[in-house]
Amino acid sequence: MDVLIVGAGAMGTWIGRALDAPVTFADVDADAAAAAAETVPDATAVSLASSDDGEATAIEDRYDLVCLAVPMIHVTDAIAAHADRASEAIIDVSGVMAPALEAMAEHAPDCERVSLHPLFAPERAPGSIAVVRDESGPVTEALLESLDDRGNSLLETTATEHDEAMETVQAATHAAVLSFAIAAKPVPEGFETPIYDQLATLATQMTGGTPRVYADIQETFAGADAVADAATRVADADSAELEALYREATQTWQTADGDSL
């Protein structure tokens, strides 16, 4: 099996390392493609040079498997541009599933089609990987077996379930942490409480990431508005209303025996 990975960033490089197959990296940034290829044994790199009108040039070769590892806001365009390079299978690791799978079905209807979302940063692999098998077959099954053999946990799901979960898991969570990071300030040593400590740790972790990635998530998934609405309710509440909001949250986040989830 030979593989073309479109997108030579952290996630594209991660899946290139995880595959037991010859890999070619393609990226609009030729240096990024070359750098990714250097990290994977026997990998090669090609450049997605731009034409005069700014459109990426299609790659001339065909591959058993094409993997789109591009930012989620660009995945449907990337699938449209490169689906015809796939002779057997096409997958993505963009992080949004419904639009990606719809584009795959449109542009690669005769291919195996799978959407993957590694639920971890590449440097923390292995971990849990959400999987939607839209049209499985021997190529994608071998890919998934390889990921499983490397210690990853495959979470079978649907595109709808995944994308709805990401509204909370990513969009709302990131909005809440970023809002804390903006509104709060570091305090003198000794004043920390356990809850503050945990939020401060999350704020430090998040602000050490890539801003574009977080911006793409907010553009793709709803969830931030719910956080803003909740913050407004808390800010505007009197004592009795605040107690009611606390009880409302308790019903969601406490188990039957009263322990925190």
- Where are the chain's structural domains? 3-157, 161-253
CATH number at 3-157:
3.40.50.720
Q: For residue 53, is pLDDT > 80?
A: no
Give the DSSP H/E element, type plus range, for residue 35: helix 30-38
Q: For residue 261, is pLDDT > 50?
A: no
- The average pLDDT across 83-99 equals 97
Q: What are phi and psi of 110, to 5 degrees?
A: -95, 0
Q: For residue 119, is pLDDT > 90?
A: yes
Q: For residue 258, is pLDDT > 70?
A: no
Most confident among 15-24, 115-124, 162-171 (mean pLDDT): 162-171
Question: Can you tell me the distance from the alpha carbon of 237 to that of 123, in angstroms, rounded to the nearest whole number?
Answer: 42
Contact 170, 221 (CB under 8 A): yes
Residue 175, both tokens: 């909005």
Contact 66, 82 (CB under 8 A): yes
Q: What are phi and psi of 26, to 5 degrees?
A: -130, 135
- The average pLDDT across 43-57 equals 64
CA torsion 124-103-9-128 (nearest 10°) is 0
Please say whether the dihedral angle defined by the alpha carbons of residues 40, 115, 85 and 213, taken in this order, is positive or negative: negative
Q: Does 122 sit behind a cis peptide bond, omega within 30 degrees of 0 on the bond before it?
A: no
Q: Pairing mode, if any, of strands 3-6 and 44-47?
A: unpaired
pLDDT of residue 47: 80
